Structure 1
Amino acid sequence: MIERAKTTLLVLLVGLSLLQSYLLAYSMPGLGATVKTEQDYINAEPLGEEASVEDVVFPEELVIHFGGDKHTVLYPGSTFYDMILKERIQGREFKGFQRNPVNVLNWDEVRRNDIGVELRFHNGIPVDLLKKLLKVQGDLLFLNETIDRIWIFKTKDTEDVRTFFFTADGEKVYESAQADLTVRDVQDYVGFGEYQTKYTVTADGIYLPDKPMQSVEMVFPYEVYSPDLMQRNLFFDPGTTKALEDRNGSQIFTDGKRGLQVEQNGKWITYTNPAASQSKDNLLGDNVYASVEFINEHGGWDGVHRFVNASPDKDGKAAKTIMFQQYLNNYPVIETRNFQYGTIRLTLQQGTVTDYTRSLITLADKAKSRQARWLPGGDDLLKALEKYERRSEAVRVFPALQAQPMEDNELRFVPVWGVLLKDGTNDVLLQAYPAGYTPPKTEDETMAPPDGKAADSAGGKESADASVDAGANENAVSGKSGGSGKTASTDGGGSALNKTGTAAGLNAGTMKIKLGGNAALPR
């Protein structure tokens, strides 16, 4: 009797043990973990558009060299920038890299005498990101470099085409001995820039146009993501957050660890997520991938942005600050001291975002109004640069747009000449001429064929014809993805989109270029 009782008890214990093992293995209700992790963000309704790393990696400018110390500069979004980069360079292979000291050639003489094109990336771009733009193959030594210029040129009086990749530390160049490029390719690059405004280069390498450049002033309606929406999107447990208000009237949300500060009347946020400092550095490319993914999940993208290497480090590592600059109507938007708009910045520790600043403004698809404005060139621009109080720190001058807030949820974008400083910051060098100003035609322009029309669309979904004088810089299509395709054609010297002539690589007769809603920027 006792033995039978022991047997029965043993069977019950074994059965309970098996039941408990089953429940633990399959996490039956009531027995699972109830603590949320930091990955359990509550993703609210979708915000802006998503992007990939390929969408944010492209050169800040292309410099075309004609020989005879003549040059021009093409900016992201212009038709010929797109044609050279996407149709003539991106499909080619670059391999067989040979390392040389930077003084292997006299680059001043190459700039003056040899025809070619430069692709420029301020502060450099790691080769692992560059591979998202170009077909690059190299050894481990080259793949660990950071590149700030790619120079393709045909040597004077020979049929040799040479391609050099310059490292951001300014000490080395890598020549691609097996670049898939021909003399005809280089001649085509030069032909595409033949009718663009010519530039003069200063002693310290800053390119300035010889005459005024046409741009467009625009007014855009906008909407604003609500602070509550961003709170729900950024905090993994919004129910535990508290809302505060500081002395300046800014809203602050915090869950005891993370913080979200809403400034500028609800139009700008700073999100912080403190993390322990890591002694081990991670690659800049890894941080860029992590940043793009984070933005996709927490706010999205309003239009086209370009990755800007904000780190002064030249080794491609430990880049904690990642910046993306917004483009509108082919031009970068630069911030002002009184109104923050146009950049997204992130700080990372080992792939974790610890700081995140951005605007909550999202622009309408179409501009409310548009007005042609001219940016100074020639002596006016040169004198402004010479008198600039931080002239010794200037490394680049470029056309840009400055955002100015208006009433009724509208932003005015005013054309300006921006200046890039050594510390990576941008400033306004010179404002556009007053509205209604038209520069006098030169003798060459008076003899040029009649002016035509150029596609000039902001937001990628709006078409508007802008008269472009011969030789003026072209305004092409840019802005949000998904816009309808438009046809751009321009007679005369403006952008030579519909030009009867003999530019290298262009067939004589009429050439029309079909542009998609985002075709002008590498998307």
Structure 2
Amino acid sequence: MIDRAKTAILTVLVVVSLIQSYLLAYSMPGLGVTASPQQGYVPAEAMGKEEQVENVIFPEDMVLHLGKAKHTVLYPASNFYNLIFEKIKSREFKGFQRAAVSTVDWNEVRDGDQGIELRFGRGVPMELLSKVLKLEGDAPFMNDVVDRIWIYAGSDGEEVRTYFFSADNMTVYESVKADLTAQDVQMYVGYGEYQVNYKRIGQDLYLPEGPVEASVSVVGYDSYTPEQMQSYLFIDPGVTRTISDRNGSQIYTDGKRGLQIEQNGRWLSYTDPVAVQGQGDNESQNVYSAVQFVNQHGGWDGMHRFVHAGDLGGGHVLRFQQYYGSFPVIPMEPFLFGSMKLRLQEGVVSEYERSMLTLKRKPDKRSVRWLPGGDMLASALTGYARKADVVALYPALLAHPTDDKTLTLDPVWAVRLGDDTQEVLLEAIPGGYKPLPGEPGGAPLGQPGAGGGTNTSSSDSGAHGSSAHGSVGIAMGGLPQRLTAAR
């Protein structure tokens, strides 16, 4: 009897306990299961467009050799540049034979034979280039870095020679089984017949003998917020701390990673310490990792070109140069803009720098400007204090912000130095005036086609205003300006 009573009492207690548990879990407000901040985290949606590696690998420029010491230069995204590059990408390059660069008199070829140079600036790993061009080569070839491809027709006009130049300046690889004909070379060269003539200065610098058409643009922009960048770069943005420094920058950290927002929310610098495994670095793999990282952490603002920087100790430093139309964008100090920089070790990003501004696709305003050529440009280069350090001369767009949430992009002649810094050499002629032959910045008198052709971006066609006419004073300003694009 006593045992039955105990059993009944225990049964009642169990039932009461179950009822209380039910009431606590479902009936009383505020006592349900609470999600942790990590459980409640939702990955950020990408704002910029994604990109593929093959789209950031393209020549810095193309030099067309017309024969009889005549040359012209094509820039990215221009109509003829695009036509030539697409045709070359459809060809096959096989049977590579290694030789010393001195086996050919390149000055004689440059001035005497018709051909084309695809110049990649500081170079691009052959392994990456093979994702753009159809290449078949052995391990030494595929492990090298190439800074130009030279295709030309021999003096007989029938034999076509194709050379890939190593960035070591000592080695060339000839493709003896290139899928190219003399008619291909003639077609490429024919695109340059009505372009501005360029004169060779030294080994690799070409100066236009007449003015080059460009545009000044006023472009609106959107911008990322610090909160958006935190959501991209931190696993759990809710645990970050904010620190303000004396320069007005905001620093966000979760104890390991750091995000610094500078220039009133226009530029970011991100760091994430990397534990190196010591297994060796592969630059091509790092480029793939860098492109994927940018895809997932802010995306791409327009066209960018990969810039080979090499191993600077503590991983590869990779830079992606931004373009607007056919010309690279470089910033006016102290403004930071125009390129992204990443440091990687074994495919892991340890540093990331980029602008938080994204340009609108169409400018609010645009008008024609002419970049001076001829003796005016040659004199500016001759008088440049660091002329011996110049490795490239090219048109660029100098970016500086205004007060109405726009950027002004002014066309300039820029130089790149051996340490990868960039400086303004000469500004465009004011007011849209196109200098006549014999005038400062114009072509020589009596030169055929002295009026000069244009090198207009295919995306900019028809978007230019009309040129102003009449006399204009040309005052270009003083010393070259140091830029921060290669920060």
TM-score, normalised relative to structure 2: 0.83
The equivalent of 1:275 in structure 2 is: 274
The aligned amino acid for 2:70 is K
SS at 2:458 equivalent: coil
> Is this contact kept in 2: 1:325–1:332, CA < 8 A?
yes
The equivalent of 1:235 in structure 2 is: 234
CA distances 1:294-331 after superposition (whole Å, capped 9, x unpaired): 00000001111111112278xxx986101101110211
The equivalent of 2:419 in structure 1 is: 423
CA distance in 2, matches of 1:301, 1:445: 47
Aligned mate of 1:371, from 367, 371, 381? 367
How is 1:150-189 mapped onto 2 (pairs within 5 angstroms)? 150-189=149-188
The aligned amino acid for 2:261 is V
> Is this contact kept in 1: 2:115–2:189, CA < 8 A?
yes
Change (3 A) 1:117 1:338: same
How is 1:66-81 mapped onto 2 (pairs within 5 angstroms)? 66-81=66-81
Deviation, structure 1 residue 71: 0.6
CA distance in 1, matches of 2:280, 2:314: 5
How is 1:172-321 mapped onto 2 (pairs within 5 angstroms)? 172-277=171-276, 279-311=278-310, 320-321=316-317
The equivalent of 1:385 in structure 2 is: 381
The aligned amino acid for 1:48 is G
List gaps (5 residues or longer) in structure 2.
Answer: 1-35, 438-442, 464-487
Most deviating of 246-255 and 327-336: 327-336
How is 1:8-47 mapped onto 2 (pairs within 5 angstroms)? 43-47=43-47
The equivalent of 1:400 in structure 2 is: 396
CA distance in 2, matches of 1:419, 1:375: 14
Deviation, structure 1 residue 281: 2.7
CA distance in 2, matches of 1:145, 1:329: 31
CA distances 1:97-150 after superposition (whole Å, capped 9, x unpaired): 111111111111111111100011122111111012110111122111111110
Superposed CA RMSD in Å reads 2.5
SS at 1:435 equivalent: helix
Among all aligned residue pairs of Structure 1 and Structure 2, give the percentage whose two residues are the same amino acid: 49
The equivalent of 1:109 in structure 2 is: 108
Deviation, structure 1 residue 365: 2.6
The equivalent of 1:58 in structure 2 is: 58
SS at 2:137 equivalent: coil
Deviation, structure 1 residue 45: 2.5
CA distance in 1, matches of 2:316, 2:41: 23
The equivalent of 1:435 in structure 2 is: 431
The equivalent of 1:335 in structure 2 is: 331
> Is this contact kept in 2: 1:312–1:423, CA < 8 A?
no
> Is this contact kept in 1: 2:331–2:400, CA < 8 A?
no
> Is this contact kept in 1: 2:397–2:410, CA < 8 A?
yes
Change (3 A) 1:42 1:335: farther
CA distance in 1, matches of 2:161, 2:42: 53
The equivalent of 2:456 in structure 1 is: 475
Deviation, structure 1 residue 233: 1.3
CA distance in 1, matches of 2:138, 2:171: 15
How is 1:87-166 mapped onto 2 (pairs within 5 angstroms)? 88-166=87-165
The aligned amino acid for 2:218 is V
Deviation, structure 1 residue 280: 3.8
CA distance in 1, matches of 2:288, 2:355: 21
Runs of 4+ in 1 over 4 A off after TM superposition: 34-37, 441-448
> Is this contact kept in 1: 2:48–2:301, CA < 8 A?
yes
List gaps (5 residues or longer) in structure 1.
Answer: 1-33, 449-468, 480-485, 489-523
CA distances 1:458-508 after superposition (whole Å, capped 9, x unpaired): xxxxxxxxxxx95322312349xxxxxx899xxxxxxxxxxxxxxxxxxxx
CA distance in 2, matches of 1:192, 1:244: 57
Most deviating of 346-355 and 200-209: 200-209
CA distance in 2, matches of 1:179, 1:434: 47
Change (3 A) 1:298 1:42: farther
> Is this contact kept in 2: 1:445–1:470, CA < 8 A?
no
Change (3 A) 1:445 1:47: farther
> Is this contact kept in 2: 1:208–1:377, CA < 8 A?
yes
> Is this contact kept in 1: 2:37–2:236, CA < 8 A?
no
The aligned amino acid for 1:397 is L
SS at 2:195 equivalent: coil
CA distance in 1, matches of 2:377, 2:224: 39
> Is this contact kept in 2: 1:41–1:233, CA < 8 A?
no
Deviation, structure 1 residue 175: 0.5
Deviation, structure 1 residue 335: 2.5
CA distance in 1, matches of 2:67, 2:221: 46
CA distances 1:5-41 after superposition (whole Å, capped 9, x unpaired): xxxxxxxxxxxxxxxxxxxxxxxxxxxxx9989xx99
The aligned amino acid for 1:386 is T
> Is this contact kept in 2: 1:231–1:238, CA < 8 A?
yes
Most deviating of 268-277 and 110-119: 268-277
> Is this contact kept in 1: 2:123–2:147, CA < 8 A?
yes
Paired residue total:
424
> Is this contact kept in 2: 1:123–1:312, CA < 8 A?
no
Deviation, structure 1 residue 447: 8.4
Aligned mate of 1:323, from 319, 326, 343? 319
Change (3 A) 1:426 1:280: farther
Deviation, structure 1 residue 336: 2.7
Change (3 A) 1:271 1:178: same
Change (3 A) 1:301 1:79: same
